[in-house]
Structure 1
Amino acid sequence: MRAFFAACLLLAAPAFAQEGPSFDCSKAQSDAEQLICQDADLARLDRLVTARYVAALDVVEGLDTGAERAKQSLRAEQRGWIKGRDECWKADDLRTCIADSYLRREGELVARWMLEEPAGIAFWACGGNPANEVATYFYATELPSVRFERGDSVDTGSLVPTGSGSRYEASFGRSIWIKGDNAIYRDPDPDGSEWDCVLASNG
């Protein structure tokens, strides 16, 4: 009988491990890590983001040029993100802060490194000038995300609540607020330029 129960525990061990986060909970130190170890959904989000991060590293390692520098940058970025996640102890709602951090990070990794096929692509002509083009690639991540391309710049953003249309916010004030075939695009330049845009084409 003991052998039977031992066998059952061995069979169940992978399932238990699968429910936990990607890190060793016996070494959890921050309030964020301790809560993640106690919360099955946060643990799932941790595994999801870790898988996305590993996939991004694979993409970086396959770059023809600048792979090592890009890998170092991605690793530093991930360390910075973890540090930011652990700062959630300052938030009024620790769990919501942690979950939001994971959701945004998944979107950033998928959109920046194009880890999936985009759910949609739109090209916008802004400021009445067809040459002033903004390309947006939309991804069906758990929190919908977008990849911005304008000239040589690339940025990523996440869907935020709004009363109408769809609004995505990125870094340093960049955003796009889409209402049908029209959008308001805000650039992160020092002046915070904002343009009315019209849909030029769909990908």
Structure 2
Amino acid sequence: MLPRRILSVTAQCAMLGALASAGHAASPSFDCKRAEGQIEQMICKDDTLARLDKETTRLYGLALDARSMSTGRKKTLLAEQRGWIKGRNDCWKATDARACTTAEYIDRIHVLRQNYAGARTQDDKGISRGPFSVRCPGADALILGTFVQTEPGYAYLTWLDKKLLLPQTRAASGARYAATTEAGEAMLWDKGPEAQLELPGKPAMACRMEAPE
């Protein structure tokens, strides 16, 4: 059932992001005095990455502390997080270390929110929402979308084996996300429950976003 939403997903996240960041610079979840390696040091100097780090850690903690978590599933989550941290820190090898680190964080936020119900609680204390079901007639499959409010904000779309990270751009109304990919232009325009989606090489689709249960 689609809840009544006057504001777009992005507008809701933006208000929470403003409250979370008002009056002070962002700091990550770890002690920057003990930062190790190029990536951790970069996170400590970058407000956006610091906020992404704090949100990822918040979601991980919520997932880990959920009463419904079995011992086996908790061990899996711990191992996943260790593996993810290693992958994030390997972004120093990338041509664009910051873009790689940003993508790693947003993918992890999406995965935590999608796979662990505990991570979808206490959203009033964070800067992420979703994953929403983006239902588009004519799409190859159901698209899932997670939204993260930083500067800029991001929409992260996944379907089948595909992933698409879209930074927020200016829009006269609603919230528009766009990027140029190797396959062509991509765009999502969030207008509340309604959305317009353009995937590379395909015509624009009129879609509807449904909140997670």
1:53 aligns with 2:66: no
Q: Which amino acid aligns with 2:44?
A: C
Give the fraction of aligned pairs with identical amino acids, expressed as a percent.
Answer: 32
Alpha-carbon distance in structure 2 between the residues aligned to 1:88 and 1:126: 32
Q: 2:135 aligns with which of 122, 143, 146?
A: 122
Alpha-carbon distance in structure 2 between the residues aligned to 1:97 and 1:121: 25
Question: What is the aligned partner in structure 2 of residue 113 from structure 1?
Answer: 116
Question: What is the aligned partner in structure 2 of residue 186 from structure 1?
Answer: none
Aligned residues: 148
Alpha-carbon distance in structure 1 between the residues aligned to 2:209 and 2:29: 38
Alpha-carbon distance in structure 2 between the residues aligned to 1:58 and 1:123: 35
When normalised by structure 1's length, the TM-score is: 0.55
Structure number with higher helix proportion: 1
1:95 aligns with 2:112: no
Task: Check conservation: 1:45, 1:103, Cα contact below 8 A.
Answer: yes
1:72 aligns with 2:72: no
- Post-superposition Cα deviations, 1:78-99, rounded to whole Å, max 9, x if no partner, equal 1111101111111222222222
CA pair 92-143 structure 1, distance change in 2 beyond 3 A: same
Looking at CA atoms only, which structure, 1 or 2, has the larger radius of gyration? 1
Alpha-carbon distance in structure 2 between the residues aligned to 1:137 and 1:56: 20
Deviation at 1:54, TM superposition (A): 1.4
- Post-superposition Cα deviations, 1:21-80, rounded to whole Å, max 9, x if no partner, equal 111112211111111122222211111111121122234x424xxx11111111111111
Deviation at 1:123, TM superposition (A): 8.4
When normalised by structure 2's length, the TM-score is: 0.53
Alpha-carbon distance in structure 1 between the residues aligned to 2:32 and 2:185: 42
CA pair 146-74 structure 1, distance change in 2 beyond 3 A: farther
1:82 aligns with 2:82: no
Which 5+ residue runs of structure 2 have no aligned equivalent?
Answer: 1-22, 121-128, 167-178, 189-198
Alpha-carbon distance in structure 2 between the residues aligned to 1:108 and 1:158: 14
Alpha-carbon distance in structure 2 between the residues aligned to 1:126 and 1:96: 28
1:62 aligns with 2:68: yes
1:33 aligns with 2:40: yes
Task: Check conservation: 1:53, 1:109, Cα contact below 8 A.
Answer: yes
Q: Which one has more relative contact order, counting CA pairs under 8 Å at least 6 apart?
A: 2
Question: What is the aligned partner in structure 2 of residue 8 from structure 1?
Answer: none
